[in-house]
Amino acid sequence: MALMEQPGVLYVVATPIGNLEDITLRALRILREVHLIAAEDTRVTRKLLAHCDIHTPLTSYHRHTEARKAAWLVEQVASGRRVALVSDAGMPGISDPGHELIAACVAAGLDVVAVPGPSAVITALVVSGLPTRRFAFEGFLPRVAGERRQHLEALRGEERTLVFYEAPSRVLATLEAMASVLGDRPMAAARELTKKFEEVVRGRVSEVLAHFRAHRPQGEFVLVVAGAEPGEANAPPPPAEAPEEAVAALVAAGSSERDAIRTVAAEHHLSRKEVYAAWLERKRRADE
Ligand code: SAM
């Protein structure tokens, strides 16, 4: 009797977020056994595979080709091939390419199997010390200051613990926006998790901000922020803060006048000149 052919499968395989020892035994076996590995950046995955002595063929699957390549990969799985999807780090599809391919395989009735492992969101959440029973993962905040502020405003009443990914170059601006929109809540900034310079800075938003003003943010960051106090969700939003008061709050939290004026101008959609004039006027009134 002829052996039944193995059906095609898409395996969604988590890879380490820093420490290579975090790859699972199952992930190693699947990566070795599949016909093809679809990788966000084949150069990054090639290094991991070389380290693990795996020689499976690779193809790229990144943001720019996501839709076109997904259709081709679905055909591969439909024709009986076993394909592993990996990203540069952590779980594919979590702030990484993957969702389109996974959704397309599901829509085509194909098998999608997770091979779980590290993901920065869960890793940071558990070491933050903040409540883990309910949390909201927000991925990356918008880069534009006004949009970032609006996004945070929509989260002001959220009672679940909030988890954000952030680039080191935007950590200070994001913490300043959090301090001014969400208030001075408990939080944790988890940096370089599982790596040599791993660090978790815990405290109020203003304390974490002060720490990273003194120590330039470097490496990969997850920001975990306490949810709103129960009942805060139904509270009316606080009155819009005058720009000069927002500058005063940032200066009191340790910002330089120059940085505070730049941040407030961006967040209030005003020119720096306007904010500076309002700030000077406030200082003049205070001196009277
Ligand atoms: N797919 C990944 C996962 O499952 O966590 C996330 C990919 S996303 C493009 C990269 C972001 O994840 C980084 O900018 C950082 O915010 C966070 N991140 C990844 N590795 C990290 C680490 N070792 N320590 C802290 N944050 C990390």
Tokens of 45: 């995955």
Please give the number of the atom of ligand 1 that sits closest to the Cα of 166: 16
pLDDT in tens, 146-180: 999 999 999 999 999 999 999 999 999 999 999 99
Same domain membership, residue 156 and residue 261 = no
- Rounded CA-CA distance 108/100 in Å is 12
- Rounded CA-CA distance 96/87 in Å is 7
Same domain membership, residue 85 and residue 130 = no
pLDDT band at 219 (very low <50, low <70, confident <90, very high): very high
- 5 pLDDT higher than 70: no
CA of 195 to the centre of ligand 1 (A): 12
Which amino acid residue places its CA nearest to atom 11 of ligand 1?
Answer: 165
- Rounded CA-CA distance 66/101 in Å is 8
Tokens of 186: 């408990």
pLDDT band at 127 (very low <50, low <70, confident <90, very high): very high
- Rounded CA-CA distance 224/187 in Å is 6
pLDDT for the residue numbered 1:
37
For residue 208, count CB atoms less than 10 angstroms from its CB and return exposed for 0-12, middle for 13-18, buried for 19 or more: buried
pLDDT for the residue numbered 3:
44
Q: Would 1 be classed as within a structural domain?
A: no
- 236 pLDDT higher than 70: no
Q: Would 2 be classed as within a structural domain?
A: no
Distances (CA, A) of 277 to 8, 40, 252: 66, 48, 19
Q: Is 267 in the pocket of ligand 1 (CB under 6 A)?
A: no
Q: Is 182 in the pocket of ligand 1 (CB under 6 A)?
A: no
Range of the domain at 105: 7-118
User: What pTM was estimated for this model as a whole?
Assistant: 0.84
Last residue of a domain, one of 96, 118, 140: 118
